[in-house]
Structure 1
Amino acid sequence: MLYVEILGNIPEMARDEVRAMLELAGGKITGQDYLFLKIDADEKAFPYLNRLGLAHEYGELIVEADSVEELLEKAGKEEWPIRGTFKVETETMANCRFDVLDLPRKLGAVIYAKGFKVNLSKPETLVRVYCGERLYAGIRLHFFDPKDFEKKKAHRRPFFRPISLPPRLSRALVNLTRAKAEILDPFMGAGGILIEAGLMGLKVYGVDIKPEMVRGAEINLRHYGINNYELRLGDATRLEELFPDKKFEAIATDPPYGTSATLAGRKRDELYRKALESMYNVLKEGGRLAIAFPADFDGETEGERAGLRLLGKYYQRVHKSLERYFYVFEK
């Protein structure tokens, strides 16, 4: 058994991102305790879990219990897969119902008694205990360092435009499509979504109506070492003309929300509707689209009108003047 600790800003979206990756890996979520997910999967899932954007960490789940005493008793009977030295840390979630103040010391003593050495400053193995409705103990296998996402934020790219999804959200959108080989962003802007997809090893296709964005997205992709791409100057409402002999397995995009300038002089809702129709036409049967729309646009109705089937819808309040939904559709 494995576990994943997801982030709490859009938890339903984070959970479904994990589910989408497990669908590719042949695993499944078997339980959830606040932000802690129990996963039925093995090491074949690691390459897919490594792709996650809205996760804090994942690891091997060793013990779960309904009391501190039960946890310690079970821990004493386990063969802990600890390499080198270890340290115990406790994650007290918002729904924690146990007194775990002294638990790191107590569990550490149980593991120490099995012959393992403690190192509180630089442990080679981190034992993680989660407190929620139940208690869980496991070995951290992968930590998603926020610094890795921070260095890819819009203001740190060589071609900078302030309007861009955060890297974690861009990555999650790509993952929600279950893309395995390639992805299209028909409103690519400065290429934020394409950067995340390219770093996952996908071939990326991008379209933008502005020449400076096409040039800038290429600069950004090359900056991050991404070479497997095709970028085209064109209109997101006429994708069939740009890719006459191509059907895509996945599309992820964040259309512009704002003024006539950012919309190239077109009415926003009309642009969205025509773009949805065009994306439907270049999407494979069974392919998925992940897209963001401002909350005052009925993306669910318009997506279904274009022929798409809604799989997920997630709300985010960015600030007082911007509320949006992320949608996942399937053709």
Structure 2
Amino acid sequence: MISRLTALLLGIFIFSACSTVATAQSKTRKIYLMTHGSDADPMWIEWNRGAIAACAKIHAKCHISFHSNNVSSQKEAFNSAIAARADGIATTSAEPKIWNKEVAAATKAGIPVVFFNSDDPAAGRYSYVGADLFQAGVIWAKYLVDNKVVKAGDKVFLPVEAAGATYQVLETKGVASVFDPLGIKYSVLEVGSEPASLITRMTEYLTANRDVKAIIGLGDLVTAHSRAALKNIGAKPGQIPVVGWGYSKDTAEAVMEGYAMAGLWQFPYDLGYLPVMIVDGLAKAGGKGYDITTLDLYDKSNVQTFLKTMMAAQKK
């Protein structure tokens, strides 16, 4: 795996290489980017900003689409990219094994495919940019254990927007690798992605399960809205600590207030920027297996730095 600093330096190198190629080519390259995320999600808004910036840098025509966990819609966009003879495709893999056929077809057509945010190496993609989702689960579970928040016999609540999605499966496996040997219990609950209803479902679960000692938000929206659910049941800051994804201002503020302990940051801008550079540069040169890990943890000690990044992004 490659560190974020190395990735950014390589991004500069790739851009330089791509600029040279752009000068030599007369046609405008077509790159298709598609995500299972929503264009209303703070994380994907920042991802979109990075993708647009990269496309502008290399003077490519980019087709960006959001599919809100609709696999059929995302597959249609992928196949449209193949039919349009795209120069490169970048996509998320929200479920295991769903892209095997499409990636094979793209490869046969000479179109490099890069995954970002959620991976499926067995699909035959060229490269991956994003977090190791199994390790994300490990990081959250270890954080709770190391800070003596949970112990043997305790129960941890794992809300998620879409149960069965790749990110939920891998993150839960990571959590299990830490909790199972220690005898710590955990429960995954699908609550959906509409804010009002997911807050209601989390509130109902916490009301019925007063013995919950901590919450691990397996998705950004559930982590961001955990504070609201905790307030609904009258929990005080720190009474039921939360860890999870930390892309939103709500999560950062929850960390500052003490409702959340820590948030994971996947550098969403880079998730949009770097796949464009890879499909346009290294992938054309046969850069298969060129993976970049983007992941960092913030807590009360450094949350201000990440909050400034979020606020700056919202102003652009």
TM-score under structure 1 normalisation?
Answer: 0.28
Higher radius of gyration, 1 or 2: 1
Query: Larger relative CO (CA 8 A, sep 6+): 1 or 2?
Result: 2
Higher helix proportion (structure 1 or 2): 2
TM-score under structure 2 normalisation?
Answer: 0.29
Higher strand proportion (structure 1 or 2): 1
